[in-house]
Chains A and B, each alone.
Chain A
Amino acid sequence: MKQTRVLLADDHTLIRAGLRLVIDQEPEFTVVGEASDGRQAVALADSLKPDIVVMDVGMPGLNGIEACRQIRDSMPDVQVVMLSMHSDEGYVLRALKAGARAYLLKDSAEADLTRAIRAASERKSFFSPAVGKVLLEDYMRTLQRTGAEDSYELLSPREREILQLVAEGKSSKEIAGLLNLSVHTVETHRARVMQKLNLRGIPELTLYAVRKGIIS
């Protein structure tokens, strides 16, 4: 069985030790290195070529989001699981835009870490349940204030299906295979979803899906 190689990046030794214990419990995961700041994380990712980097958002020097962006830019095969204290959409969206697959709150890291690593290694998205809850609350309040219609109601069942699959991290080709459609049709649906929901890019779409509770 192929081992999933994990690099831990957090500026707190205690947290790293705790996370390491959690990861070591799973036989298919192995921790190959630890970094204490963003720069070191980028360097170790480059030399160790891990499958997954578990990265804290707030680190001295180079912060986690920037480090994630650099790793994803130079090594697209390395997946990043973001660890954060914040469930705010500013963090989530920026982490997604930087290329993170999963976004975990530190409060619940222990419970969700193995699920998040597993999802990320399968190139799927994963979010702490609390994140989705906060995002949804913010979204509902904005809707109430602006009096806007919930745009999700505008989507057809097929479009909702495609929205979920895209948000989970699947490519158009994979979706086409799953739904037995042509790649072109999937692309068309996807474009219509983006247009109806007024979203720009996959990160915003993923954020929207998390917010709506479509994925977690």
Chain B
Amino acid sequence: MPLVRDQSNLAAADSDSLSPRLRWVLLGTFVALLALIFVSGAAATRTLREMHEQEQEARRAVASRAQTLSKLYVSIEVYNEDIGRYLGYPLERPDPLMRQQVDRLTSEIESQLDGYPDGRQPEEAALLKSIAELYRRHLALYRSAENAATSPGARGEILTLRTQLIDGSGEVNAWNGRQIQTNDETLLAQFSRLQASLTGSLSIALAGGLLLVVASMAYILRLERQTRSRYDELAQSRYELERLSSRLVDAQEEERRSISRELHDEVGQSLGALLVDLGRLSTNLPADTSEIHERIDHMKSLTERTVGTVRDIALLLRPSMLDDLGLVAALEWQGREVSRRSEMEVAVESANVSDELPDEYKICVYRLVQEALNNAVRHSRARNAKVRVAGSASAIEIEVRDDGRGFDPKRARGLGILGMEERVKRLGGSLAVDSAPGQGTVVKAELPLPVAAGTPA
């Protein structure tokens, strides 16, 4: 048994040192998980905001480009038309109004080319540059055509350039359209990146959470197991304690019985035989040996006193009246004994007490009454005590009542009461001590009887 206990103690010590560590690990994991969820949430929010801003920015850029381009386009269209019309007039009669118009358009186109939004892409810049180039060449041709006599070749070239100009602005427009698409694609890619990173974070959080749950469950289960095993241990040791104390009572009773028997059988018998011999000796002696008679009488009275003492000790250890006369007679005898030896008068009442009670019940009742009366004599200065024992089919009730000075049962609970309680409890009964200072004391006990022993004889 001690071996097993040592092992379980070792196991307990081991888990004691492990428990705090595991607790911290679990707590750390939990905090890390929370942090992960928080950080990935914050990052996602920031990315979304950035994406939104970027999109706005791109939309704004595209819109302003488109606006500028459409204006440029319109201007170029109008310019082209006007140039055409202007060039279509006979050279000898140039229309000054038309000329003015073309000049105005020229400056407009220039300002529009200048006002094209910044941050151009290389491709875009190249396109714009080629438009500006075309325009300048066109303008140069137009100027030269206007100044010199316009040759049909130059005129043709102007028309070609005009077409090229229109195409160029169309290309810019198309590029712009493509740019929108590229932008959208970029956004989409960004968004899916975000999605992927969020999914990743969530997966990690989920996996971590699962891990945490599993670890916590394992931890809780282990704690539960530990608690249960501790509880079992406790219950076991309590059971053993009870068994031990009940065995103690048994052993004490057995020991007393055997000492009592030894005293009665060995010492008592020898003394008894000695008495008989002494008596015989004195009757057989001649009458004139008075000194020897005296000595023999002295020896006889000494032996008688010793017999009395041995008998009293034997009775205290094991009341032989329990065996000879039964419980009720033994209790009555005890009452008379206490009355004889103390200042307290004891009255014993009994009703329906079976003579067939098992020995341990007789002993229990007897010792209970003995202890209660002893307590009353020793501590309470009672003048009267009443013992009442009543049997029924299922139980036996014992009550010992005295008129002494009483005590507070909550504060003073001596070994005597504990001993009574112990005896009563091991037979499945209950004991109550009712007392208060100045009120006397009532000790009440109830013993349930085994089924067969309940019927009064």
> A13-35 interface mask toward B, CB cutoff 8 Å, 1 = contact, 0 = none?
11101110110010000000000
13 contacts between A and B (CB under 8 A): A15-B273, A18-B280, A19-B276, A85-B268, A85-B311, A86-B311, A90-B329, A90-B333, A91-B333, A106-B307, A108-B304, A110-B280, A137-B340
B-binding segment of A57-65, A183-191, A204-212: A57-65
A85-B311, A145-B345 known; A94+B272 contact, CB < 8 A: no
Bound-complex Cα distance A5 to B325 (A): 28
Q: Which of B34-42, B237-245, B316-324 contacts A (4 or more CB under 8 A)?
A: B316-324
Q: Given A65-B325, A86-B321: A107 and B308 within 8 A (CB)?
A: yes
A22 to B272, CA, bound (A): 13
Instruction: Scan A124-160; emit 1 where CB is below 8 A from any B CB, else 0.
Output: 0000000000000110010001000000000000000
Q: A34 to nearest B CB, angstroms?
A: 14
Q: Which residues of B contact A17 (CB under 8 A)?
A: 273
Contact string, B214-230, partner A, CB cutoff 8 A, digits 1/0?
Answer: 00000000000000000
Main SS at interface, chain B: helix
With the chains together, A89 CA to B332 CA distance in Å?
9
Task: Name A57-99 residues within 8 Å CB distance of B.
Answer: 57-58, 63-65, 85-86, 88-91, 94
Contact with A along B270-285 (1 / 0, CB 8 A): 1011011111100100
Residue interface mask A150-184, B partner, CB < 8 A = 1: 00000000000000000000000000000000000
Q: Is B190 interfacial (CB 8 A cutoff)? A: no
Bound together, the chains give a CA A108 to CA B275 distance in angstroms of: 8
Q: Would you call A109 an interface residue if the criterion is a C-beta within 8 Å of the partner chain's C-beta atoms? A: yes
Instruction: Evaluate contact between B273 and A18: CB separation under 8 angstroms.
Output: yes
- Contact among A58, A111, A145 for B320, CB-based, below 8 A: A58
Which residues of B have CB within 8 Å of A25? 280, 283
A141–B272 alpha-carbon span in the complex (Å): 31
Q: How far is the CA of A106 from the CA of B332 in the complex (A)?
A: 22
A196 in the interface (beta carbon within 8 A): no
Decide if B195 is an interface residue (CB 8 Å cutoff).
Answer: no
Q: Which of A11, A19, A91, A106 contacts B324 (CB 8 A)?
A: A91
In the complex, the answer to whether A14 meets B273 with C-beta atoms within 8 Å is yes
For B336, list chain A residues within 8 Å (CB). Answer: 88-90, 138
Contact B275 A110 (CB under 8 A): yes
Is B163 among interface residues, defined by CB-CB distance under 8 A?
no
CB of B314 to closest CB in A, whole Å: 9
For B325, what are the chain A residues with a Cβ–Cβ distance below 8 Å? Answer: 65, 90-91, 94
Whether A192 is near chain B, meaning CB under 8 Å from some CB there, is no
Contacts of A138 in B (CB 8 A): 336, 339-340
Known: A14-B269, A107-B308, A145-B345. A22 touches B280 (CB 8 A): yes
Per the bound structure, the CA–CA distance linking A107 and B330 in Å amounts to 21
Return chain B residues, CB-CB under 8 Å to A58.
Answer: 264, 320, 323-324
Is A15 in contact with B321, judged by CB distance below 8 angstroms?
no
Rounded to whole Å, the gap between the CB of A106 and the closest CB of chain B is 6
Q: Complex Cα distance A133/B173, Å? A: 146
Is B92 part of the binding interface, using a Cβ–Cβ cutoff of 8 Å? no
B325, B340, B345 — which one has the most chain A CB atoms within 10 A of its CB?
B325
Shortest distance from the beta carbon of B353 to any chain A beta carbon, whole Å: 14
Give the docked Cα–Cα distance between A70 and B314 (Å). 28
Q: How far is the CA of A90 from the CA of B330 in the complex (A)?
A: 8
Q: Which residues of A contact B268 (CB under 8 A)?
A: 12, 85
Residues of B within 8 A of A22 (CB): 276, 279-280
A93 smallest CB distance to B (angstroms): 9
**Complex Cα–Cα for A137 and B324 (A):** 23
Q: Is the Cβ of B307 less than 8 Å from the Cβ of A15?
A: no
User: By the criterion CB–CB under 8 Å, are B280 and A14 in contact?
Assistant: no
A12 touches B280 (CB 8 A): no
Q: Is the CB of A12 within 8 A of B265?
A: yes
In the complex, what distance in Å separates the CA atom of A91 from the CA atom of B323?
A: 12
Provide the bound-state CA to CA distance between A11 and B265, in Å: 9
Write the nearest CB–CB distance from B377 to chain A, whole angstroms.
15
Bound-complex Cα distance A169 to B272 (A): 29
Contacts of B311 in A (CB 8 A): 85-86
Nearest 3 pairs of A and B residues by beta carbon: A18-B276, A110-B279, A14-B273
Kindly identify, within residues 291 to 344 of chain B, every residue whose CB is under 8 Å from any CB belonging to chain A: 304, 307-308, 311, 320-321, 323-325, 329-330, 332-333, 336-337, 339-340
**A112, chain B: closest CB distance, angstroms:** 10
Query: Are A21 and B280 interface neighbours, CB within 8 A?
Result: yes
Indicate which residue in B304, B337, B384 contacts A107 across the interface (CB closer than 8 Å). B304
* B272 engages A111 (CB within 8 Å): no
Q: How far is the CA of A91 from the CA of B332 in the complex (A)?
A: 11
Is there contact, CB below 8 Å, between B333 and A15?
no
Q: Is B345's CB under 8 angstroms from A88's CB?
A: no
Given contacts A58-B264, A86-B333, 19 further A-B contacts (CB under 8 A): A14-B270, A18-B275, A18-B277, A22-B280, A25-B283, A64-B324, A65-B324, A86-B311, A90-B325, A90-B332, A91-B324, A91-B333, A109-B272, A110-B275, A110-B279, A138-B339, A138-B340, A141-B340, A141-B345
